[in-house]
Amino acid sequence: MPRAPVALHLLTAFAVSACSGREARDAGAPAPEAAPPAKDAGARAVQPDGPVGPVSGLASTAACPGKQPSARDGDADGISDTIEADNARLGQAHLRTGRCDADPSRSVGKPFGGSLPEGVNLPDNGEGYKHSPGGDPVDSDDWSVLAMVQCVEAVGQRLRPQGRELGVTDLSKRGGGRFVPHKSHQNGVDADMRYPRLDKKNLPLDLKRDPDRYDRDATLALFKLFGEICKVDVIFADLTRVGFDDGDVPGVRIAHVAGHSNHFHLRLAPEVTP
């Protein structure tokens, strides 16, 4: 049966992640986050080597006709070989290298009460980013819609020349659903990331406990980069400590939520698939 593609539009193709669940526990349980729009989440594919565009249709057994392969995307389907190989390793039959794959993502419901029937795994080590599972089993907390995986991948590629690495922790569980201790993270559109540090190390940072290591300018630039590359719904952060306000990042809504001094929370905008 063909899967209904989902579409989270990412704009044209910088260092993050919330503390993992473990880091978030150290800071205490986060307060409830703003309720998302009542729509199913969609996904729209970002091509790291080219323009943003939708990927539609069923997976075939050949490279995409009429498209130009690249070093990162040998089958020219807009999904990097790294993502395809990692998901094939985990038994994801809908993603393979050497053929034209469609976006397999299927996200249902809301971040606070949804599921991820068809998710994509974020490779733990990528170009300019690293996922840290913390105390969770490997490959158990890093599932999302393809749009989020490609967002992390594209931002990491922009950070790497700066000597930075995006720090990513909790996304969603495989299949989605309740993810303790989070109130959201249920349908593949949420990701926790670490605040950038002055020493450029991808290590945990709590703005409340260790503010002298915090890089305010790099964080502001990172939030702007997310706005350029990804279709952001909202970024939850500790606005009493980050050093800038909601209006300082054009086109990106930033909301203050208690319990986010040791990470920020990126949520992609849901869209209804036609």
| 124 domain-assigned | yes
Number of domains in the chain: 1
| 72 domain-assigned | no
State pLDDT tens for residues 224-238. Answer: 999 999 999 999 999
Is the distance from CB of 237 to CB of 265 less than 8 angstroms?
yes
* Residue 271: predicted pLDDT: 62
| 263 domain-assigned | yes
| 65 domain-assigned | no
CA nearest neighbour of 19 among 267, 266, 260: 260
Please, which pLDDT band fits residue 25 given cuts at 50, 70 and 90? very low
Q: Would you say the pTM of this structure is higher than 0.85?
A: no
Extract the tokens encoding 228.
């350029």
- Which range, of 13-22, 71-80, 159-168, 202-211, averages the lowest pLDDT? 13-22
Average pLDDT over residues 63-83: 94
- Which range, of 36-50, 64-78, 253-267, averages the lowest pLDDT? 36-50
* Residue 62: predicted pLDDT: 66
Task: Quickly count: other Cβ atoms within 10 Å of residue 251's Cβ.
Answer: 10
Q: How close are the terminal C-alpha atoms of the chain, in Å?
A: 18
The sign of the dihedral angle between the CA atoms of 7, 10, 12, 14 is negative
CA 40, CA 38: separation in Å to the nearest integer?
Answer: 7
Q: How far is CA 169 from CA 49, 94, 123, 161, 265, in A?
A: 25, 25, 12, 22, 10
Higher pLDDT, 41 or 215: 215
| 29 domain-assigned | yes
Q: What phi and psi values does residue 273 have, to the nearest 5 degrees?
A: -75, 130
| 47 domain-assigned | yes
Average pLDDT over residues 231-252: 96
- Which range, of 143-147, 182-186, 190-194, 229-233, averages the lowest pLDDT? 182-186
Is the distance from CB of 173 to CB of 179 less than 8 angstroms?
yes
Beta strands in the chain (DSSP E): 106-110, 113-118, 120-121, 125-126, 129-131, 143-144, 166-168, 190-193, 232-237, 254-256, 264-268
Average pLDDT over residues 13-26: 41
* Residue 35: predicted pLDDT: 44
| 177 domain-assigned | yes
CATH classification of the domain holding 118: 3.30.1380.10
Is the distance from CB of 48 to CB of 154 less than 8 angstroms?
yes
State pLDDT tens for residues 34-66. Answer: 444 433 443 333 333 333 333 333 334 467 999
| 85 domain-assigned | no
Domain that holds residue 52: 21-60+101-268
pLDDT above 50: residue 90: yes
Is the distance from CB of 227 to CB of 255 less than 8 angstroms?
no
